[in-house]
Structure 1
Amino acid sequence: MPVAKDEFDDLRPLSFRDPAEVLDEDKLYTIYEISRLLQGLDADADLDGETEAILLDWAIPWMLTNSEEFVFAEPRTDDEPGYYGVDV
């Protein structure tokens, strides 16, 4: 349900950083690690499942919007996620 803007004290513009500002060009990351880095956390920060899901809600559209700036590698094993990095 929509909420009135005046219910919030702090409204800020929505802006996303470029992938090269977030990721090291010499490394590949999982989507989970990228979602943490986008929020200024360590890539290996320990998060509960609910928080991780919220961070993924931000990371996935960001990656799709910037898809031309990414490369990816298939998972090394079946139980591992894929890896993404900056296309340099």
Structure 2
Amino acid sequence: MPIEKDEFSALYPCDFYTPEELFEPDQMYTVYEIARLLQGLEPDAEIDEGTEEILLDWAIPWVMTNAEDLVVAEPRTDDEPGYYGVERDGDLSSNADDADE
């Protein structure tokens, strides 16, 4: 049920970090680490599973919204998630253009 804005003591802008603000340019992050960073936590911060699920609800759309500024790497092993980082000049593999066709 919607709530009247007047019922809240304060309203704030809905502002998210850009990839350049969030990531170190030479690092790659899992979506779990991105979720923590978006909340101002360290990437390896210990959080409970329920909180992590809520944070992922913010992180996944953020990744999708910022996809043009990101690079992605496949997991190194089958039990590892993918990794995301801010795109820098020269980051893309030479065969990346072939994957788009």
TM-score w.r.t. the length of structure 1 is 0.93
Post-superposition offset of 1:62 = 1.1
> For 1:47 and 1:28, how far apart are their aligned partners in 2?
20
> For 1:57 and 1:10, how far apart are their aligned partners in 2?
23
**Any idea what the Cα deviations from partners look like across 1:30-57, whole Å, max 9, x if unmatched?**
0000110111100000011111111111
> For 1:3 and 1:60, how far apart are their aligned partners in 2?
26
Q: Moved runs in structure 1, 4+ residues, more than 6 A?
A: none
Q: Which amino acid aligns with 1:55?
A: L
Gaps in structure 2 of 5+ consecutive residues: 89-101
> For 1:59 and 1:5, how far apart are their aligned partners in 2?
26
1:2 aligns with 2:2: yes
Gaps in structure 1 of 5+ consecutive residues: none
> For 2:45 and 2:6, how far apart are their aligned partners in 1?
34
- Give the CA RMSD over aligned residues: 0.9
1:52 aligns with 2:57: no
Post-superposition offset of 1:24 = 0.4
Number of residue pairs matched by the alignment: 88
* Structure index of larger Rg: 2
Once the two structures are superposed, the pairs formed by residues 33-72 of structure 1 within 5 Å of their partners are 33-72=33-72
> For 2:47 and 2:5, how far apart are their aligned partners in 1?
30
TM-score w.r.t. the length of structure 2 is 0.82
